A and B are shown apart, each in its own frame.
Chain A
Amino acid sequence: MSQAQTNKTRKTRSVFARLTSGIRRPAKIHDFHGGIHPPEMKHLSNGTPITAGPLPQQLILPLNMHIGAPAKPLVAPGDKVLKGQMIAEPIGAVSAAIHAPTSGTVSAIGPRPIQHPSGMDAVCIVIDTDGEDQWIEHQGTIDYTEKSPAELVDLIRHAGIAGMGGAGFPTSIKVNLGDHQRVEQLIINAVECEPYITADDRLMRERAEQIITGIHILQYLLNPRRTLIGIEDNKPEAISAIKRACKGCDIEVRVVPTKYPSGGEKQLIQLLTGKEVASGQLPAQVGVVCQNVGTAYAIKRAVCDGEPLISRVTTLTGDGVSQPGNYEVLLGTPVRDLLAHGNLAGLDIGRLVMGGPMMGFTLHNPGVPVVKTTNCIIAASPEELPEPPPEQPCIRCGSCAEVCPANLLPQQLYWHAKNDDLEKAQHHNLMDCIECGACAYVCPSHIPLVQYYRYAKAEVRQQAADQVKADKARQRFEARQARIEQEQAEKEARRQARLEANRKKKEAGPTAASTVDVAALKQASLDASKAYKAAVKAAKAAEAEGADNLAELKAEADRLKAVADKAKAAVRDAKDGAPVAAAPAEDTVAKLKKQVGDASSAYKAAVKVAKAAEAEGADNVAELKAEADQLKAAADALKAELREAKTNAPASAAPVTQADPVAELKKQVGDASSAYKAAVKTAKQADEDGADNAADLRAEADRLKAVADQLKADLRDAKANAPASPAPVAPTASTAAAAEQPDPVAALKKQVGDASLAYKAAVKAAKQADEDGAGNAADLHSEAGRLKAIADQLKVELRDAKAAAPPTPKAAPATTATTDSPAVPEEQAPQSLAEVDPEQAAKRQKRLKGLKTAYNMAHKQYKEAHAAYERAERNETASADELQAMQGKIDKLKAKADNARDALDALVEEAKADIRAHTGKDLKTLKLEAARAESALADKQQELEQQRSSASEDTLEALSSELQALESETQIARKALKQAVEEQGLAE
């Protein structure tokens, strides 16, 4: 009874004990689907201890021994390097440094065949070794816990450590997960499941202590809850060595059954933890970090001994070598040297494999160097690894599905891959294939299945990349389309606004009081002038007839003159006052102008009175003349003041004044012309009367003429400048300018009228002189001709002004609209002249022709006059006075010719400006644009070249598409430039 009770108690306790001790018992080893058991072939090399590899004459170090960006060389050919010296630094986040594995001289940096499955060349640093194997000064850390994890991560990065298991992922990334990432399990992969390879096996047997130290550093960095070492059960010596080394610490050794591919990261995680890493995710996302046992060893060497990764243990095996074994090989050692070191058995190497027989790749060239990931070199005889038998049809036997560790249906994947049915292949989880090769290993039809999957995967990636590219292109296109539409809409809105503004202006025209006033006043002023002139004529006629009512008539004329002046003043007031009443500067100018006008008329009146008095032989002639002179001086002073005010005004006052100078100048010109004409008339009269001061008067007239010419020239300049000067005109200002624009035309008309009158009067005087047989008849005739020319020129100018006037109102809205686009501010002014319709171009053509003719005529006249003068001088037919007169005439003609020339030039400039506005950009901008586009193109090309070796395919694709876009842009810019040059050439 008691016995039974005891038994029962024991049983209960044992169950309890089992439950509690279950925590301490080694956890269950899980299983993964599939897997194969190929011949292990490890016996070839697992009995040989690790020995030093060869010290070859040349080491070839690819800049990309790891996954990620290639390292950037720090040395140049010819540099001496010491063992352990960093010769290339990591660039970007995912990268690792490269160090000189021994001392020597850098002999080249250039493309060499590397460990690439397709036998690619890549940039390598080539070191000619000097045999001294001289270390650079280096120092390890005795207690790594003194350093912060960040420091250690940086140390690992600059020690060039990358995953030694085969992938070569930079270790610094994997040990730097950030605080948010909790590491449940740190798994040390010591499975080494591939046949033949024994490098890790020997490393564990011989350097277990150092490996454990490396694992401790990893624990320090990652702070995992548990640390597991997975080792396959076919390595009992390694297992016991590691177990001995980690006795007493928290590292658990887990023995997994021998099965390929239990060393695959995902498979090992499943074996040790039962967790699956979700498709497309990283182990870290299930709280697991895997590190290869060789990596742990390299970390220990880097941290504790200060030795960067410059060598690794590589298994050299296969039938082809007579001394298979494990060698500590310097990175960069050509496989050829390693084979020689392992005593190449003969010529019967059929296949040279870097890596294991399941996932390694064949080398086409034994000159390829050993790199950080090279764990094995198999030099196999043709019997050992024979050429694959020809591919037979798939009979869907399903052997592949039985062994697939990812639990895929390889036979289905094969069908879909072969038929390029990528959609179905992806549906069958093609992208989860780890390319372990188990399926192809068991396939009775010897189908190179992995190759099909690699192909299909590449196609899928390519399609995805193409899709991304197409999406980007579509987005770009849509953005461009939207932009163009927006521009069109804006343009349309501008056009509408312009039309609206025009329409409003037209509507406003008749109703707006100021405009009406100005027009009406102008008309009144013109009428008054006419009446006054008629009165003057009548007075003159009366004088000539000796009529009694002369005084009366003259008074009447004076009265009319005053009326005319008043009218003119009113016009001026209306013009200046109405739109720009706000501008005080403008007011002074306007006032001054009025004063000038008044002074001039006063002076003129005085001159007239003096003349009349002279004609009557009055006593007070001298007095009157003095008064006239005084008035003249006053007028001149005022004029000078006005000019000053005007020059100051535009600078100080609002931009509104921009358009004014032209109008003012025109007015001045008109005044000066009339003054001159009056003077001429007086002089003529004096001549006729045989007065003494005739010569004086004539000189005075000449001086006035010169003043008038000068003013005219000024006016032309002003006109030429006005449109071209940058006018950030506010709409109101523009309308003001527009309102003023018609004025010059009216003024010109007046001038033309005056000039015609003057000419007619001169003709009449000349005829009279002819009739009277006066001596100066010839002079008078030529004077008449001159006046005619002036009148003609004025007419031409009038036409110009008329032609120029219409486009100006249009300019205002256009200008306001273009101020929105700050990119081309220099375009604003020309654009205000833009939108030239063909009609206007034709008009300008006509004007150009007219000006040319005028210039030619003037030039001819001048030449003729000059010739006449010379002739007269030579023959001494003319008196000194006559010669002087002729000289004056020549000067005048010359001035006229010059003026005509100036006008012509101005017009040509204007035409150019139009073309500029027409093409939207001026030549300089176009040139700049073309140059900019070309330099951008060159830059992009350079970037592409630089990236070509390093960047991913996607980046390259993107770059080349950008390059194409730039190319087309450049072409467009070039074309535009060429076109503009051609157009301008035509214009010139």
Chain B
Amino acid sequence: MSLITSTSPHATVKNNTGAFMRQVIYATLPGLAVLTWQFGWGSVINVLWAVIVALVSEALFLKARGRNIAFYLKDYSAVVTAVLLGLALPPTAPWWLTLIGVSFAIIVAKQLYGGLGMNPFNPAMVGYVLLLISFPVAMTQWLAPGEPLSFVQSWQLFTGQLPVDGLSGATPLDTFRTVQSSATDTANALANQGILHGQFAGLGWEWVNLAFLLGGLYLISRKIITWHIPVGFLAGLGLPALLAWLIDPVRFADPLFQLFSGGAMLGAFFIATDPVSAATSRTGRLIYALLIGVLIWVIRSFGGYPDAVAFSVLLLNLSAPFIDYYTQPRTYGHKSSNRGVS
């Protein structure tokens, strides 16, 4: 008989990285559904196109690097990157915008660093920031919520046959930014801007964020992610917002508005939780996420950009190894945990 010789353990969970990634994709579906409900088919088209671009880019570079293409495509990591970036782009994005963003994310931010597990930055956010800086107009043209476009309209936008100018409108965060910087009486101005007021947060976006929160809770329940990063993220964003709003409710937006507008929930449960570029110890993850949240609130309240998930995540990606060195757990049999670099 021919016997397998291997080292212990001889049993492993029936699980794999691909399954992990697929769970993440499934968890984004509620959010995608609400986006489609609020803004039309643009996001679905974006996501599908992004997935195609990602798979092709990944395959090309795996071939160039002499790797087993099928084996690595099956880990679904490229698909996750594509889906997240596709969700983050405005539904009005033309095909070339997605192409540039996704291919840059996969090729430069991921494969050039050595592929899955080796990238120091979140690839989707690298692609997003590239587009935001290079094409600020195209990246900020969101549609008015609650008035979804038909599939044909969306397709025409995607192919560039329909000019986006007449359709696009301001997001609640855009509006907030505008009134905050121009009006002396923010409260009055806000009262006039209907877009800011949905049931409990910005109109339309509150549902989008709720949907992503739902997907995130699913991920936690499936132990795909731990609670540390979302909780840290939301606390980092929500607590300063609450504090500032209590002090000066005229100048600062209320915490619910902060937590349920823009990419807050998507960032908290799907973006910041990318394990490859995040801190890795439990305490480290909490600190990492907390700082992302704080940074988002700071940029939203005082910075030049209406939203700041991508910037904050990338900045904290930079700090993750450093955080890890100072947040090692106390090992069994040791009086205290190790600190710093050896």
Chain A residues packing against B (C-beta within 8 Å): 32-33, 38-39, 117, 119, 195, 266, 270, 276-281, 347, 349-353, 355, 357-364, 366, 378, 380, 382, 385, 387-390, 392-399, 401-402, 405-409, 411-412, 423-424, 426-429, 432, 435, 437-438, 440-446, 448, 450-451, 454
Contact = CB atoms under 8 A, between A and B. Distances in A.
Contacts of A396: 117, 275-276, 278, 280
Interface string B1-25: 1011111111111011101100000
Contact of B6 (A347, A362, A427, A454): A362
A445 B332 contact: no
Interface residues of B, number: 45
Contacts of A364: 3, 5
A122 B53 CA distance: 59
A432 B331 contact: yes
A351 B10 contact: yes
A392 B16 contact: yes
A394 B333 contact: no
A380 B1 CA distance: 12
Contact of B12 (A360, A398, A406, A446): A446
B16 A446 contact: yes
A440 B342 contact: no
Contacts of B11: 38-39, 195, 357-358, 385, 441
Contacts of A353: 10
Given A390-B71, A444-B13, A397 B275 contact: yes
B328 A444 contact: no
Contacts of B338: 427-429
Interface in B1-53: 1, 3-13, 15-17, 19-20
A440 B12 contact: yes
Contacts of A429: 331, 334, 338
Given A361-B7, A411-B280, A426 B342 contact: yes
Interface of B: 1, 3-13, 15-17, 19-20, 71, 75, 77, 115-118, 223, 226, 275-276, 278, 280-282, 285, 324, 328-335, 338, 341-342
Nearest to B335: A278
Given A412-B280, A429-B331, 10 more contacts: A357-B11, A366-B3, A389-B12, A396-B280, A397-B275, A401-B280, A407-B330, A432-B332, A435-B8, A440-B9
Contact of B332 (A347, A361, A406): A406
Given A38-B11, A427-B341, A412 B324 contact: yes
A437 B8 contact: yes
Contacts of A427: 338, 341-342
Contact of B4 (A347, A360, A362, A444): A362
B331 A362 contact: no
A423 B341 CA distance: 10
A283 to B, nearest CB: 11
Contacts of B75: 392-393
Contacts of B116: 392-393, 395
A393 B62 CA distance: 14
Contact of B328 (A280, A409, A450): A409
A731 B328 CA distance: 75
A270 B331 CA distance: 13
A360 B10 contact: yes
B187 to A, nearest CB: 44
Nearest to B285: A398
A266 B332 contact: yes
A668 to B, nearest CB: 89
A891 B12 CA distance: 111
Contacts of A281: 333
A364 B8 CA distance: 14
19 contacts: A266-B333, A276-B333, A279-B332, A357-B10, A358-B9, A358-B10, A362-B3, A378-B10, A392-B75, A393-B17, A393-B75, A398-B282, A409-B280, A429-B334, A437-B8, A440-B8, A444-B20, A445-B16, A448-B7
Nearest to B11: A357
B13 A441 contact: yes
B19 to A, nearest CB: 7
Nearest to B330: A407
Nearest to A438: B9
Nearest to B2: A350
A361 B9 CA distance: 8
Nearest to A393: B117
Contact of B15 (A38, A411, A444, A451): A444
A362 B11 CA distance: 12
